[in-house]
């Protein structure tokens, strides 16, 4: 009997969505029917009266698992709300998750469950990843990012392994993401040895890839507090770099490169006009602009922005805070990110031992 596979992060940004998308895609080439569910997600997309997690939408579109999308995303919560949940409500939500899991599992050769965050996340709801994994009878695969000493993959895997196993859930092993390409040959044997000492199997080391560090302007507007001023029709523009506009216009001309996001205070009319001029150049210029400080420009400047066709967002925070938030923003893969999706599929197929993971599920 093959156990379902539960994939989750050891810490924010561990790369579980990359790993999940790549694995479900790869498994689809081996098995006739692959099931998928994300028990608890963020309500980013509306479906009737319910919210749908974007990762479920992504898997549904790319992998065509042929399941009801509401079963693939049975429970969603808002990031900004601190819920008060009684034990009875927790049990009701767990029942909803379990019923959806049964439906997406019916007739499947293999089922992948995507968690939300680290092992303990969701405890405030009475629905931690560990509790859900235990209730659904899954085995766990951990996704950990390379990172620095404080957030390194080895420590975070050990912490999460202990938490899952304290709840009676078996951890199969881990995959380490975003390892610098020039260090991967040296890092792989080292992390494998440390994991072996911990009783954890290393199933793959995925190199860092610049393609996955891009994002769309729409993600910025969803992540920051404020309002769109103009350019909603162009909000899907790709952003490859971020530039804070605090220099003189003649210097900014060479700084505002193709596919960049410009952050500048709403009263820096000189920088705003320069960005509009760069955007009008053939084949170059910014992909969008964030005006900081909650300062709305003069109406004549707003008209200029509209004519430039740049998507422009008015943020409440100062430029430094905006830049910091964007730097820390989760770079979610969107269902229309064809280049990213193709790259994820290639990275997981090349660097993760998918067959070994399947064998471990049968053990």
Which tokens is 270 given?
A: 């000189």
When the candidates are 3.30.930.10, 3.40.50.300, 1.10.510.10, 3.40.50.10470, the CATH number that belongs to 5-212+333-362 is: 3.40.50.300
Query: Which pLDDT tens digit goes with each residue over 283-332?
Result: 678 999 999 999 999 999 999 999 998 999 999 999 999 999 888 777 77
Q: What are the angstrom distances between the C-alpha of 302 and each of 163, 271, 291, 310?
A: 53, 13, 11, 11
What is the pLDDT of the chain when averaged over all its residues? 90
DSSP letter for each residue of 284-324? -S-SEEEEETT-PPPHHHHHHHHHHT--EEEESS-HHHHHH
Residue 1: which pLDDT band, with cuts at 50, 70 and 90?
low
Domain map of the chain by residue range? 5-212+333-362, 215-328
Once rounded to an integer, what is the mean pLDDT over residues 109-129? 94
Query: Which pLDDT tens digit goes with each residue over 218-266?
Result: 888 878 889 999 999 888 888 989 999 888 888 888 888 888 999 999 9
DSSP letter for each residue of 140-189? EEEEEE---STT-HHHHHHHHHHHHHHTT--EEEEEEEEE-GGGHHHHHH
Once rounded to an integer, what is the mean pLDDT over residues 189-198? 95
- The whole-number pLDDT of residue 342 equals 94
Q: What's the rounded Cα separation, in Å, for the pair 33 and 71?
A: 16
- The whole-number pLDDT of residue 196 equals 94
Chain Cα centroid distance, residue 320: 23
- CB proximity list for 289: less than 8 A, separation 6 or greater: 261, 262, 263, 264, 272, 275, 305, 310, 311, 312, 313
- The whole-number pLDDT of residue 82 equals 63
Q: What's the rounded Cα separation, in Å, for the pair 18 and 244?
A: 29
26-44 burial, b at 16+ Cβ within 10 Å, e below that, comes to bbbeeeeebbbbbbbbbbb
CATH 3.90.420.10 correct for 215-328: no
> In this predicted model, which residue has the larger pLDDT, 46 or 356?
356
Whether pLDDT at 198 is above 60: yes
Which stretches of the chain are DSSP H helices? 16-27, 54-63, 69-72, 87-105, 129-136, 153-166, 184-198, 217-223, 249-255, 269-279, 299-308, 319-328, 338-351, 354-362
- The whole-number pLDDT of residue 43 equals 60
Pairing of strands 75-77, 40-42: parallel
| CA-closest candidate to residue 139, choices 296, 259, 8, 51 | 8
The CB density around residue 250, as the number of other CB atoms within 10 Å, is 8
What are φ and ψ of residue 288, in 5° steps? 180, 175
Residue 77: which pLDDT band, with cuts at 50, 70 and 90?
confident
The CB density around residue 237, as the number of other CB atoms within 10 Å, is 17
- The whole-number pLDDT of residue 28 equals 95
- CB proximity list for 136: less than 8 A, separation 6 or greater: 4, 6, 39, 97, 98, 101, 113
Pairing of strands 5-9, 110-114: parallel
The CB density around residue 218, as the number of other CB atoms within 10 Å, is 19
Residue 149: which pLDDT band, with cuts at 50, 70 and 90?
low
- The whole-number pLDDT of residue 338 equals 86
Could you give the 3-state DSSP secondary structure of residue 36? strand
Whether 5-212+333-362 and 215-328 share one fold: the answer is: no
Query: Which pLDDT tens digit goes with each residue over 318-340?
Result: 999 999 988 877 777 888 888 88
């Amino acid at each position: 009997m093959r156990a379902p596979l539960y994939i989750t992060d050891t810490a924010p940004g561990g790369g579980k969505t990359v790993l999940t998308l790549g694995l479900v895609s790869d498994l689809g080439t081996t098995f006739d029917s692959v099931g998928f569910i994300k028990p608890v997600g963020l309500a980013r997309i509306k479906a009737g009266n319910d919210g749908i997690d974007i990762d479920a939408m992504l898997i549904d579109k790319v992998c065509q698992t042929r399941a009801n999308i509401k079963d693939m995303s049975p429970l969603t919560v808002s990031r900004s709300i601190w819920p008060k949940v009684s034990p009875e409500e927790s049990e009701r939500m767990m029942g909803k998750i379990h019923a959806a899991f049964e439906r997406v599992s019916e007739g499947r050769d293999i089922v992948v469950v995507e968690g939300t965050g680290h092992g303990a996340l969701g405890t405030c709801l009475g629905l931690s990843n560990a509790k859900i994994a235990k209730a659904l009878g899954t085995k766990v695969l951990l996704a950990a990012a390379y990172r620095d000493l404080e957030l390194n993959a080895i420590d975070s895997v050990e912490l999460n392994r202990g938490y899952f196993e304290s709840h009676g859930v078996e951890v199969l092993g881990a995959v380490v993401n975003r390892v610098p390409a020039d260090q991967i040959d040296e890092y792989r044997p080292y992390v494998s040895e440390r994991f072996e000492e911990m009783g954890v199997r290393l199933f793959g080391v995925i190199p860092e890839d610049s393609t996955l560090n891009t994002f769309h302007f729409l993600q910025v507007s969803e992540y920051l507090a404020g309002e769109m001023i103009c350019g909603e029709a162009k909000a899907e523009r790709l952003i490859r770099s971020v530039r804070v506009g605090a220099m003189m216009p003649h210097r900014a001309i060479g700084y505002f490169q193709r596919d960049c996001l410009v952050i500048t205070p709403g009263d820096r009319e000189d920088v705003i006009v320069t960005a509009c001029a760069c955007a009008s150049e053939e084949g170059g210029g910014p992909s969008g602009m964030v005006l900081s400080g909650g300062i709305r420009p003069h109406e004549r400047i707003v008209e200029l922005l509209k004519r430039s066709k740049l998507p422009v967002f008015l943020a409440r925070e100062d430029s430094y805070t905006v830049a910091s938030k964007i730097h820390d923003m989760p770079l979610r893969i969107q269902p229309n990110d064809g280049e990213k999706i193709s790259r994820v599929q290639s990275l997981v197929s090349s660097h993760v031992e998918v067959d070994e993971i399947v064998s471990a599920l049968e053990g």
